[in-house]
Amino acid sequence: MGSFTRYCAAAILLFGGAIVSPASGEPRLYDASRADQFLEPLAEDTVPEDPAMRGIWAENSAYNAALFGRPAVLTYTQMHAQAVDETSALYVGFNRFSHGRDLAGPGYKPFKTPNADTLYSNAYLDLSSGPVLITVPPTNGRYYTLNFLDLFGNATNISARTHGTDGGTYLIATTDWGGEVPDGAELFRVTQQYMWILMRVEVEDREELPAVRALQDSFTISPRLNSASSRPFPQPAEMDDPAAFLRVLDWIVEEAGVRIGEAALVHGFRGLGVGGPMSVEQALEDPVIAQAASRGFERANRFAETIKTQNGAMIGGWREPFDIGRYGYNYNYRAGVHSLGLGANVRLENYAYTTFIDADGNMLDGSEGAYSLKLDSVPPSEFFWSVTVYDRTTQELHPNTEDKYLVSSNTRGLVVSEDGSVTITFSRDGSGPNAISIPAGPFYLALRAQGPSREMREGIWRPSPVRLIAGTE
């Protein structure tokens, strides 16, 4: 029985074997395995013999594979450097934390668009030999999150929001694991055998760094099991290298896995050497397919880069998050989000607005002058909020003499007006507690709330547009 068939069977068994009418506009699912004499195919799908038609097929298949696999191949590059490549400066191996001991600054390497008010730790889990235990120490009210991301960016959390700050022990296991949970541990299931943990711990100011560094060391993973996979890890791939990309995607599909409901989509990549008996090298021996795959990848990369600013509904000049971190089958959206940056969390944990434009719809650009943002009230959050500046060209924090990249609820001397409003200014010099330096060219802003309140989640509270201050520079 095929994967998609098993998915349909599970859906029917969930409702006691009854046929469930779909919601309006949704497809009706059926369980083909229950039909009399329904046979699965024995042969691979047809690849056109006509060169022109074969080129069209290969270009379209490559385009779909490039968009589908983009987040996973980008994440794999990070995983390979930290957990696989022993010659890498970032190497620590699987099932071990790599702690960032300093706040993110300009040139931060692990990923783009980082927070600048938390210490980051990274770990890549290999669960192919079984579960691991993670110990979370008491944080005494300090915000933390262990953001679990599968290679495709789907996010879950063990955090101050979900589990409190008293600490605990958690058994991390895949959904198909069926062993016994040790006494005193809580079972936490994840999707794939290979998972990324992006841990964030709040740092109110630099004076708190020694205490937070000590806290990082109290988060532990055990045991360090050897991988059960006998297949070697491929070399990382650039987005414009179809052959390398497809080799990595083939490994991900077979070793890390995909959702049951994605089996039909991934089946369409078999002619490119992904998820089937044919290798990528065999598929691309055909110059027609190789050239068409390059065109498909070029289109997909251009598409993903174009839509990366569309990471939510545009309201008041800000992009308000849709389903960031919970993508389902929205592959266009997922590719766009991961083109902007990796490690995005669900909005229940981190509600992140972004804006690239001012109130008049013009791109934010430091060469045009200074800007201001007046928030009618402080962003409502259970833990803390921040507004951060990023250079649009590099997607990194902007270097400045103050080493200050954000204004937040933890900013010393933050000025809050008598009416409860907060005004933040953005200029080349960035002087004052409510001010941030901006680059001489294009930039963008991220407003984040850790543990957003109901007012934010339901759209009762929203940020105001950013306004250009005419004639100031």
Q: Is residue 263 included in any domain, yes or no?
A: no
* pLDDT computed for residue 432 by the predictor: 87
The answer to whether residues 463 and 341 belong to one domain is: yes
Residue 71 belongs to a domain: no
Q: In this predicted structure, what is the pLDDT of residue 466?
A: 97
- Taking CA atoms, 370 is separated from 130, 344, 387, 473, in Å, by 54, 29, 16, 7
Domain membership flag for residue 58: no
Q: Is residue 9's pLDDT more than 60?
A: no
- Asked if residue 271 belongs to a domain, the reply is no
**Higher model confidence: residue 100 or residue 228?**
100
The percent helix, strand, coil of the chain (3-state, each to 5) is 30, 25, 45
Instruction: Give the least confident one: 75-79, 149-153, 183-187, 318-322.
Output: 318-322
pLDDT reported for residue 356: 94
Q: Is the pLDDT of residue 39 over 70?
A: yes
Taking the C-alpha atoms of residue 265 and residue 267, their distance in angstroms, rounded to an integer, is 5
* pTM of full prediction above 0.75: yes
CA distance 328 to 258: 11
C-alpha pair distances (Å), 339 with each of 75, 240, 301, 450: 11, 13, 9, 22
Verify that 318 and 463 share a domain, yes or no.
yes
Same domain, 218 and 363: no
Q: Which of 9-23, 39-53, 194-208, 245-259 has the lowest mean pLDDT?
A: 9-23
pLDDT tens, position by position, 263-284: 999 999 999 999 999 999 999 9
Which residues fall within 8 angstroms of residue 278, CB to CB, at 6 or more apart? 44, 270, 271
pLDDT at 273: 97
Task: Name the least confident of 2-16, 106-120, 148-162.
Answer: 2-16
Domain that holds residue 119: 98-222
Q: Which of 167, 197, 222 is the last residue of a domain?
A: 222
Percent of the chain at pLDDT exceeding 90: 80
The pLDDT confidence band at residue 8, using thresholds 50, 70 and 90, is very low
More confident residue, 263 or 22: 263
CATH number of the domain where residue 179 is located: 2.60.40.1610
What average pLDDT score do residues 342-362 get? Answer: 93
Answer with the one of 207, 222, 237 that is the final residue of a domain.
Answer: 222
Look at residues 166, 194, 222 and tell me which one is the last residue of a structural domain. 222
Provide the greatest CA pair distance for the chain.
77
Please answer whether residues 100 and 121 qualify as being in contact, where contact means their C-beta atoms are separated by less than 8 angstroms. yes
Does 218 lie in the same domain as 352?
Answer: no
Q: What is the pLDDT confidence band of residue 10, given thresholds at 50, 70 and 90?
A: very low
On whether the CB atoms of residues 64 and 264 are closer than 8 A, the answer is no
Residues 110 and 31 in one domain: no
Q: Which of 40, 72, 41 is nearest to 151 (CA)?
A: 72
- What token pair was written down for 376? 């009618």
Q: Any idea what the CATH number is for the domain that residue 340 is in?
A: 2.60.120.600
Question: How confident is the model over 290-305, as pLDDT tens digits?
Answer: 999 999 999 999 999 9
Report yes or no: 69 and 249 within 8 Å, Cβ to Cβ. yes
Residue written as tokens 């944990």?
A: 349
Mean pLDDT for 444-467 is 95
